[in-house]
Amino acid sequence: MLRATEAQNAPLACRLPTAAANGICRRTIYMLVSCVALFAGFGPAATFAHDNGGRHDVVKSVNNQAPSASKDKRTDPIKPGKKPRRLIKKSEPGPSAPSPAPIQHLSMPQSETQPLAATGELKDTPNKSGTVTTTPSFAGGGIVPTAGAASIAPSALGSSAIGTGVSSAASSMAGVSSGTSQSPQLTGRSLHMLLQQAPGISTLITGIPLSPVIPADPIAPLPPPLAAPQAGLPPPPPNWFAYHVLNRLTYGGTPNQLNMVASLKTGPEAMTWATVFMKEQLELDPTKPWPTNLHDTSPLPPPLPTQDIAADMLLAQDKADWQADASDAGVLSPTLAQLQDHDLIRKMYSRRQLKEKMTYFWDNHFNTNYRSHGKGQYELQENEAFRSKAFGTFLDLLMTSGKSAAMMIYLNTDVNVKENPNENYAREVLELHTLGTTDQGTPNGYMQADIVEAAKAFTGWDNTPDVRGGFRFVSSRHSAGSKLVLGQNIGFDGAGPSEGEQVLTLAARHPSTARHLAKQLCEYFVSDTPSAALVSEVASVFSDSNGDIKKVLIAIFTSADFMNVANYRGQIKTPLEYVVGIYRNLGVWSSREPFRARLVNVGQSLYEFAPPTGFKEQAIEWLNTNVLFHEASMAYETTISGFASTVQYGSSTSGGSLRLWMTELSLATEAEILGFLTNLTVDRVATATEYQLYLGTLRAGLIGGSFDLKNTSSEDALDRTMATILTNPRYLYQ
């Protein structure tokens, strides 16, 4: 896929056809179409850009034949001459056919500028490492490549902010700026044409049929100025549903996504955009109606993947620092901090935001603790499996968890032997992973006897004695005799793991499990107190579809409850959602480390939560002084330079200065600036009191009490205004 990027000074980077250029909005928006240099020997340039809320900086344009152009060793993704390392041998057979060479969007935060290695290297290394599974492999590569990109109606395109990542292709779409105007200007329509053309071109070049690919976000205009609100309870904005979908399906909108949403003026427009967005996030064709076969086991259409090259590159680069396991040079073993950072890259940068939210859901539902085994690769292996199966079937997810080394060690399956079985896993799999408990806290459909018998069925399960996290069955440890679990007789099978598998299958199909999972997913996406009707309907889809998670999610997102304005901003962000949200909402481009450290301090440290419950999702778990203290601290750390802050956001050309960023965007008046900043954070909702408070903060300390962007003293005033908006209780609402 091509990508358009702002072209302040950049020449046309490769020989792609350009489209007619027309103005796209009131502000000058212009784009340079630049080919991502992933086609060997073809285009010379890769241009990195970052979503800066309208102004997308060109970071660097480098010739892909000169990888040494990198000035910063840190940013070199693949060290020359370095052999790709295999992380973990996959136990499953490889895909039957190689993934078609994806057409790739490419963009990077400018701070992470890096030259592109030669095409093959860039594409191959992650594959050879055996760990990068994010390049979607599309079964049946011959499918018409334009299904996603080409068939979007022009009217929808303007409102279909498709990418979601801060550094996604969306962000690489040219930005807004005043001053330079060398590049062709694109309308939504001409952009659309480009997107249509690119796949064909790349197919010509590579000869490989392309997957249908969800194209990049178009660049959005800046939001209008914010007028002083009326007194009283502010009404939800007319386009609330589009904000709502970003709030719930992602870890926070990026500046460009939020600008896009702000440009939707009416409810129907917002609904159209949001529906496209939801379908894309679910890997469904946005031009087709919602599937209606939710209550049966017939298949959904094959997934239509979203390219995520920027995140993939960051991930590959991130792994360069990982050490091999001490006892097996063929296995990379990340430390806890490296694991956490790796996960944060995905949450912060991935365009597949819903997939990331679901990956977290599963990894948390089947919680394991790094500290119980100390092997980074075990946690990584689980996490990657949950990601690849995030929209799969529940039984598959449950089996993956039950047989993972991390889980088997964490809940003692590995030492559960026939002489006197260890009940730990058997109990938690029934109580937490599947059937669950009633509102009275009593077992919902199982008894202590089921736990004892299930524990016997799992005897003999173990991880392989190496450090690669494989599964094995040790028949000499397996408990003889048949077992009675959940009312079913499970015949003795001393030769294989099938008894335990039967237990998991029985549990996965149990009606209590459908209700338990339906309730948890509704709490995650809809409300802390989902209606009984919603839970029942979702549970019945879960049961009827045999635990098809994508169908379950469709049922949730198309429910009347999810679309009910009463649920808009009706949840409370978890610290994870708050901290990652700041990173995304503001377009942070400096180090992720302050954000990772803050999650540790606030008590939502990834991969090391000891209780098998995983982190709770409900507001009441997180509304406390400690959490608020750390969230406010994160807001201050991001915005106030005196707060020992290293966090920088906005555009890189403004060096992290909010004042220069506003200058670049030609936002000058108080109302324009507030319109932009509140759109990044609180959906442009403010009470009259809040509006006056923001105004007062903008004007404080300035000569004559009037705001003037040109005055350098306005820097502090802007920082304090941003900090005030972020610490508004409103920003906690999700």
Give backbone dihedrals phi and psi of 249, rounded to 5 degrees, phi first.
-90, -10
| Binding-site member from 690, 698, 707, 709 for other proteins (CB under 8 A) | 690
Using CB under 8 A as the binding criterion, the count of chain residues that bind other proteins stands at 85
271 touches other proteins by CB under 8 A? no
635-664 positions binding other proteins, by CB under 8 A: 636, 640, 642-644
Interacting stretch for other proteins, rule CB under 8 A, among 117-125, 267-275, 486-494, 634-642? 634-642
CB nearer to other proteins: give 389 or 456: 456
Q: Which is nearer to other proteins, 182 or 529 (CB)?
A: 529
Is residue 697 part of the contact set for other proteins (CB under 8 A)? yes
Residue among 260 and 535 whose Cβ is closer to other proteins: 535
Nearest approach, Cβ of residue 426 and other proteins (Å): 10
Q: Please, which residue, 100 or 614, has the CB nearer to other proteins?
A: 614
**3 state DSSP class of 483:** strand
Q: Cβ of residue 529: shortest distance to other proteins, in angstroms?
A: 8
Contact 332, 85 (CB under 8 A): yes
The answer to whether residue 608 forms part of the interface with other proteins (CB under 8 A) is: yes
Could you give the 3-state DSSP secondary structure of residue 534? helix
Interactions with other proteins, residue window 139-178 (CB under 8 A): none
Q: Tell me the window of 27-35, 266-274, 551-559, 629-637 that interacts with other proteins (CB under 8 A).
A: 629-637
Check binding of 687 to other proteins (CB under 8 A).
yes
Write out the two tokens for 213. 């690919």
Q: Could you say whether residue 713 binds other proteins (CB under 8 A)?
A: no
539-560 burial code (b ≥16 CB/10 A, e <16): bbbbbbbebbbbbbbbbbbebe
For residue 702, give the 3-state DSSP assignment.
coil
Hey, which residues between 430 and 469 contact other proteins (CB under 8 A)?
Answer: 431, 437, 440-443, 448, 462, 465
Q: Which of residues 310-369 bind other proteins (CB under 8 A)?
A: 369
Write out the binding residues for other proteins, residues 196-255 only, by CB under 8 A.
232-234
Residue whose CB is less far from other proteins, 84 or 570: 570
Residue with tokens 């020992």: 644
The CB-of-501 to other proteins minimum distance in angstroms stands at: 21
Residue carrying the six token digits 């050490």 = 323
Is the CA virtual torsion 443, 448, 449, 453 positive or negative? positive
Residue 665 has, within 13 A of its CA and on its CB side, a CA count of 34
CA distances from 277 to 3, 159, 285, 475, 661 (A): 19, 9, 10, 49, 28
- Contacting other proteins (CB under 8 A), which of 620, 703, 705, 710? 620
| Whole-number Å distance between alpha carbons of 375 and 368 | 12
Q: How many angstroms separate the CA atoms of 667 and 670, rounded?
A: 8
> Does position 569 bind other proteins by CB under 8 A?
yes
User: Pick from 30, 446, 562, 622: which binds other proteins (CB under 8 A)?
Assistant: 622
The residue among 86 and 418 lying less far from other proteins, judged by its C-beta, is: 418
Residue in 68, 96, 292, 625 binding other proteins, rule: CB under 8 A: 625
Q: How far is the CB of 324 from other proteins (least distance, A)?
A: 18
Q: Give buried/exposed letters for 413-443 (b at 16+ CB in 10 A, else e).
A: bbebbeeebbbbbbbbbbbbbbbbbeeeeeb
Stretch of 111-119, 174-182, 506-514, 628-636 contacting other proteins, by CB under 8 A:
628-636
205, two tokens: 């070049």
Question: What's the Cα-to-Cα distance from 643 to each of 207, 534, 638, 639, rounded to whole Å?
Answer: 54, 45, 8, 8
Out of 50, 373, 550, 659, name the contact with other proteins by CB under 8 A.
373
Part in contact with other proteins (CB under 8 A); list of ranges 43-51, 206-214, 313-321, 608-616: 608-616
In this structure, what token pair is assigned to residue 706?
């009037």
In the numeric block, the tokens 């594409």 are attached to 123
Q: Give min distance, CB of 627 to other proteins, in A.
A: 7
Examine residue 92 and tell whether it contacts other proteins (CB under 8 A).
Answer: no
On whether the CB atoms of residues 95 and 44 are closer than 8 A, the answer is: no
What dihedral do alpha carbons 399, 404, 410, 412 form, nearest 10°? 70
Q: How far is the CB of 125 from other proteins (least distance, A)?
A: 33
- Which residue, 361 or 636, has its beta carbon nearer to other proteins? 636
Report if residue 628 touches other proteins, rule: CB under 8 A: yes
Candidates 28, 129, 203, 422: give the one binding other proteins (CB under 8 A): 422
Rounded alpha-carbon distances, angstroms, from residue 74 to 63, 249, 282, 317: 19, 32, 34, 9
Q: Is 481 in the site for other proteins (CB under 8 A)?
A: no
Tell me how far, at minimum, the Cβ of 451 lies from other proteins, in Å.
Answer: 8
Q: Determine the number of helices (DSSP H) and then strands (DSSP E) in the chain.
A: 27, 10
Choose, by CB under 8 A, the member of 121, 124, 328, 621 that binds other proteins.
621
Minimum gap (Å) between residue 327 Cβ and other proteins: 10
Match 């335990």 to its residue by tokens.
Answer: 500
611 touches other proteins by CB under 8 A: yes
Contact 40, 143 (CB under 8 A): no
- Closest to other proteins by CB, 601 vs 666, is 601
Q: Tell which residue, 65, 54, 58, has the closest CA to residue 10.
A: 58
CA end-to-end distance (rounded Å), the chain: 33
Minimum CB distance to other proteins smaller for 512 or for 571: 571
- CA–chain centroid gap for 215, Å, is 17
Residue number with CB closer to other proteins (292 or 442):
442
Q: Select the residue interacting with other proteins from 160, 254, 257, 424 (CB under 8 A).
A: 424
By CB under 8 A, the residues from 382 to 411 that bind other proteins are 409, 411
Query: Both tokens of residue 204?
Result: 């010509």
Nearer to other proteins, 85 or 244 (CB): 244
Q: How far apart are CA 39 and CA 428, in angstroms?
A: 50
597 binds other proteins (CB under 8 A): yes
Name the one range near other proteins by CB under 8 A: 5-13, 87-95, 497-505, 719-727.
719-727
For the record, the structure tokens of 409 come out as: 């060690």
d(CA 490, CA 481): 9
CA distance 535 to 572: 20
Q: Which residues 508-537 are close enough to bind other proteins by CB under 8 A?
A: 528-529
Give the nearer residue to other proteins in terms of CB position, either 70 or 372.
Answer: 372
Binding residue (CB under 8 A) for other proteins from 65, 140, 591, 629: 629
193 is an interface residue for other proteins by CB under 8 A: no
Task: Supply the angle between the helices 670-681 and 714-727 in degrees, to the nearest 10.
Answer: 30
Q: Which is nearer to other proteins, 41 or 235 (CB)?
A: 235
Q: How many residues does the chain have?
A: 734
d(C-alpha 126, C-alpha 575), whole Å: 31
In the bound state with other proteins, the residue whose beta carbon lies nearer, of 303 and 570, is 570
Angle among Cα 668, 669, 671 to the nearest 5 degrees reads: 130
Name the residue among 645, 643, 666 with its Cα closest to residue 656.
645
Q: Which two tokens stand for residue 657?
A: 């200065």
- Return the residue of 205, 337, 484, 600 that touches other proteins, per CB under 8 A: 600
Between 160 and 571, CB nearer to other proteins: 571
Chosen residue from 98, 301, 374, 655 binding other proteins by CB under 8 A: 374
- Output 48 or 595, the one with its CB closest to other proteins: 595
In our burial notation (b when 16+ CB lie closer than 10 A, e otherwise), range 267-283 reads bebbbbbbbbbbbbbbb
